[in-house]
Structure 1
Amino acid sequence: MDRKTTGIVAYLTWIGLVIALVLGDREGAKFHINQALVIWLAGLLGFIPCIGWVWAIFCFICAVMGCISAINGEEKEVPLLGQIKLLK
Structure 2
Amino acid sequence: MDRKTTGIVAYLTWVGLLIALIVGDREGAKFHLNQALVIWMAGLLSVIPFIGWIWGIFCFVCAVIGFIGAINGEEKEVPLLGQFKLLK
Bucket of the pairwise TM-score, normalised by the shorter protein = over 0.9
Alpha-carbon distance, 1:69 to partner = 0.1
* Aligned residue type for 2:87: L
Alpha-carbon distance, 1:87 to partner = 0.3
* Aligned residue type for 1:72: N
In the alignment, the residues of structure 2 paired with residue 20 and residue 31 of structure 1 have an alpha-carbon distance, to the nearest angstrom, of: 12
In the alignment, the residues of structure 2 paired with residue 64 and residue 57 of structure 1 have an alpha-carbon distance, to the nearest angstrom, of: 11
Unaligned 5+ runs, structure 1: none
In the alignment, the residues of structure 1 paired with residue 75 and residue 37 of structure 2 have an alpha-carbon distance, to the nearest angstrom, of: 15
* Aligned residue type for 2:39: I
In the alignment, the residues of structure 1 paired with residue 44 and residue 37 of structure 2 have an alpha-carbon distance, to the nearest angstrom, of: 11
Stretches (4+) displaced over 4 A:
none
Instruction: Provide the TM-score with structure 2 as the length reference.
Output: 1.00
Instruction: Provide the TM-score with structure 1 as the length reference.
Output: 1.00
In the alignment, the residues of structure 1 paired with residue 11 and residue 44 of structure 2 have an alpha-carbon distance, to the nearest angstrom, of: 15
Unaligned 5+ runs, structure 2: none
In the alignment, the residues of structure 2 paired with residue 16 and residue 26 of structure 1 have an alpha-carbon distance, to the nearest angstrom, of: 13
Q: Does 1:65 align with 2:79?
A: no
In the alignment, the residues of structure 1 paired with residue 11 and residue 29 of structure 2 have an alpha-carbon distance, to the nearest angstrom, of: 12
> Share of identical aligned residues, percent?
82
* Aligned residue type for 1:31: F
